[in-house]
Amino acid sequence: MGLNPFELLILIGLLLVVVLAAVVAFVVVVRRGGSTAAAQPRRGLVVDEDSQAAAVAAGDQVRAELERVTEQRQALLEEVQATRAASELEVSEARAKADAVMAAAHAARSAADEEARARRNELRDQRAELERREQRLTDREERLDLEARALEERARHLDEVKAELKAQRYALADTALQHQQALERVAGLTAEQAKAELVAVVEHDAKRQAVLVARDIERQAAREADAKASMIVVGAIQRLASEQTSESVVSAVHLPGDDMKGRIIGREGRNIRAFEQVTGVNVMIDDTPESVLLSCFDPVRRETARMTLTELVKDGRIHPARIEEVHERSKAQIEQQCLRAAEDALAEVGISDLHPALIPILGTLRYRTSYGQNVLKHLVECAHIAGLMAAELQLDVAVCKRSAFLHDIGKALTHEVEGSHAIIGADLARRYGEHPDVVHAIEAHHNEVEVRTVEAVLTQAADAISGSRPGARRESIEAYVQRLDRLEAIAGGHDGVDKVFAMQAGRELRVMVVPETVDDIEAQVLARDIAKQIEEELTYPGQIRVTVVRESRATETAR
């Protein structure tokens, strides 16, 4: 019913009170009926029946109530038993938990005891280690005390020795002063003078020794460097097969006969004036049989004029209008030839990504010469040399070949733009998107800009090899003679030089020195100084070898 045991007990008590009250009432009624029965018999019969019915009803009610209370009591007992069973279960679970907690506590206590035992053992070991360390420190302190006492003894001994040495030094100083004074009297020199003379002798010997060591080092380095460089350069030159050409600023046009000269000149010279005005080339007609010379600094204009005059002579019709017509046609042919020459050179070198605007400029170098050497062929040759040397040195072959191939492209514009061809070519390459390393190699190949990359150095080397090989270039007699005179003047300006001879077309310089003035070591120094001065003051192709000759002769007469 949802009532706790206490409330059920109160309810049972109330029911018992009600039952007792009903019983008491029944007894009272019965007793009253007996006392009034004699006085009123008929009415007493009725009362007895009513009382009996009421008593029976009250009994039934009491019995029903007792049955209900009994059922409730039975339900209460069952609930109490269920509650007791649940309580016993909870008690058993609590006891099991308590046992588990006790077991865990026992295990924890055992672990704590074990850890405490290990900690005690560890502390015991640490205490023993500390005792051993203290013992070692005590032993070390004792040794240090012994060493300190020994050092004190040694210091006292050193003080005694120092005092003794000081006394000996004073005595030696007095003796040395006496000896020095005696030496000064004997030698006739003061101590400062003797010291200066000794320093001069030692300095001279040191210089000689330094020169000997430097000479050995230089010779060894030169042998190794020359061997490696010669192997690379000779290999590059050997593998390069190019023809040697020599060109000039004058072109000759052969004529079928001397009467053609008159037709070229024309009536009162009108044809030759028109030709020179249209082509910009000077026509030189002299006594040379069946030949006319065309002179012009611009090789493209000179070649255009040669083609024009050749076609006019072949056709036979020479007049101003015909000259202009043939000249325009020759200019178109020259442009096509220049473009084809540039494309052929690019194909030979292996460059396929050059800017289209640079190809016609490059093609004009077909008719440009430098000291008689064709510039376009020189560029192709330099590219091959640079590529071969770059491959030997394990450098970027493509960049080195491109730098060497484009290094003289500025020569195509030198008659149009102010400045050196190196700077002009660098600006041109930079304008059309060439790599900065290629631009730097172009502008630095004549040292107008300080060299900063290996590609620039290799471009200089390839240019020098191509220009200095025999037959590649021609040099004017005046410049050649001036260079020889300057070489002899540079060598003759040094002290001790007797005679100077420039040999092998200025590639070797032999210097004769006075043997009494210049010794063997000074001859080595003199050769190096002369070579350095030549490098700083002169511009020349290839190399110049400086040889200093010192000859000693001993002559006696037998009588």
**Quick check: 3 and 73 in contact, CB under 8 A?**
no
- Which of 48-62, 353-367, 395-409, 423-437 is least confident? 48-62
pLDDT above 70 covers what percent of the chain? 79
My answer on whether 124 and 259 are in the same domain is: no
Indicate the residue among 403, 435, 468 that finishes a domain: 468
Q: Which of 460, 514, 161 is nearest to 451 (CA)?
A: 460
**Quick check: 412 and 363 in contact, CB under 8 A?**
no
Cβ-in-10-Å burial (0-12, 13-18, 19+) of 280 comes to middle
pLDDT for the residue 247: 45
Q: Does the CA dihedral 337-340-346-347 come out positive or negative?
A: negative
My answer on whether 453 and 531 are in the same domain is: no
For 317-332, the pLDDT digits (tens) are: 888 888 888 889 888 8
My answer on whether 540 and 516 are in the same domain is: yes
The Cα angle at residue 382 between residues 378 and 388, in degrees rounded to 5: 150
CATH number at residue 406: 1.10.3210
Average pLDDT over residues 292-317: 83
Cα separation of the two ends of the chain: 171
CA 245 to CA 377: how far, in whole Å? 9
pLDDT for the residue 440: 92
My answer on whether 524 and 399 are in the same domain is: no
- Which of 172-181, 456-465, 505-514 is least confident? 172-181
How, if at all, do strands 282-284 and 497-503 pair?
A: unpaired
Q: How big is the chain, counted in residues?
A: 559
Specify if 229 maps to a domain.
no
Above 50 in pLDDT, residue 238? no
My answer on whether 273 and 130 are in the same domain is: no
More confident of the two residues 63 and 457: 457
pLDDT for the residue 37: 46
Average pLDDT over residues 302-320: 85
CA 138 to CA 216: how far, in whole Å? 63
Average pLDDT over residues 247-252: 61
Interacting residues of 504 by C-beta distance below 8 A, sequence separation 6+: none
My answer on whether 301 and 370 are in the same domain is: yes
Rounded to an integer, what is the distance from CA 527 to the centroid of its chain?
A: 41
My answer on whether 86 and 68 are in the same domain is: yes
Average pLDDT over residues 212-228: 68
pLDDT range class, residue 36, cuts 50, 70, 90: very low
pTM above 0.75, yes or no: no
Domain residues for the domain of 453 are: 250-468
Element (H, E) at 440: helix 436-443
CA 178 to CA 172: how far, in whole Å? 9
My answer on whether 387 and 483 are in the same domain is: no
**Quick check: 435 and 398 in contact, CB under 8 A?**
no
Specify if 432 maps to a domain.
yes
Above 70 in pLDDT, residue 186? no
CA 506 to CA 497: how far, in whole Å? 18
pLDDT for the residue 408: 86
Cβ-in-10-Å burial (0-12, 13-18, 19+) of 299 comes to buried
Specify if 298 maps to a domain.
yes
pLDDT for the residue 92: 85
Average pLDDT over residues 140-150: 89
Rounded to an integer, what is the distance from CA 42 to the centroid of its chain?
A: 145
Specify if 534 maps to a domain.
yes
CA 253 to CA 491: how far, in whole Å? 47
Specify if 216 maps to a domain.
no
Interacting residues of 447 by C-beta distance below 8 A, sequence separation 6+: 460
CA 178 to CA 184: how far, in whole Å? 10
Q: Which of 177, 323, 338 is nearest to 264 (CA)?
A: 323
Average pLDDT over residues 178-189: 67
pLDDT for the residue 496: 87
Average pLDDT, the chain: 79
For 80-136, the pLDDT digits (tens) are: 788 778 878 888 888 888 888 888 888 888 888 888 899 899 999 999 999 999 999
Above 60 in pLDDT, residue 231? no
Specify if 215 maps to a domain.
no
More confident of the two residues 512 and 221: 512
Token pair for residue 502?
């420039």
CA 462 to CA 485: how far, in whole Å? 28
CA 235 to CA 222: how far, in whole Å? 19
Cβ-in-10-Å burial (0-12, 13-18, 19+) of 394 comes to exposed
Above 60 in pLDDT, residue 558? yes
CA 175 to CA 429: how far, in whole Å? 82
**Quick check: 300 and 338 in contact, CB under 8 A?**
yes
CA 52 to CA 282: how far, in whole Å? 178
My answer on whether 321 and 348 are in the same domain is: yes
CA 425 to CA 410: how far, in whole Å? 4
Above 60 in pLDDT, residue 486? yes
- Which of 47-56, 172-181, 517-526 is least confident? 47-56
My answer on whether 330 and 419 are in the same domain is: yes
How, if at all, do strands 282-284 and 291-295 pair?
A: antiparallel
Average pLDDT over residues 386-394: 85
CATH number at residue 536: 3.30.300.20
CA 427 to CA 430: how far, in whole Å? 5
Indicate the residue among 161, 184, 207 that finishes a domain: 184
Above 80 in pLDDT, residue 336? yes
pLDDT for the residue 135: 92
For 58-82, the pLDDT digits (tens) are: 667 767 777 777 777 777 778 778 8
Q: Alpha carbon of 540 to those of 262, 319, 334, 420, 547: distances in Å?
A: 46, 48, 34, 18, 18
Specify if 360 maps to a domain.
yes
More confident of the two residues 428 and 225: 428
454-468 and 191-239 helices, crossing angle to 10°: 70
CA 535 to CA 529: how far, in whole Å? 10
Q: Total structural domains in the chain?
A: 3
My answer on whether 164 and 279 are in the same domain is: no
Above 80 in pLDDT, residue 554? no
Phi, psi for 316 (deg, rounded to 5): 90, -20
Q: Does the CA dihedral 49-55-61-66 come out positive or negative?
A: negative
Indicate the residue among 184, 204, 228 that finishes a domain: 184
Specify if 239 maps to a domain.
no
Question: Dihedral (C-alpha) 192, 195, 196, 200: value to the nearest 10 degrees?
Answer: 180
Above 60 in pLDDT, residue 33? no
Token pair for residue 174?
């007095």
Q: Which of 460, 345, 360 is nearest to 403 (CA)?
A: 460
My answer on whether 88 and 69 are in the same domain is: yes
Report the DSSP beta bridge partners of residue 545. Answer: 508
**Quick check: 209 and 216 in contact, CB under 8 A?**
no
Q: What secondary structure does DSSP assign to 413-435, as a single string?
A: STTTSSS-HHHHHHHHHHHTT--
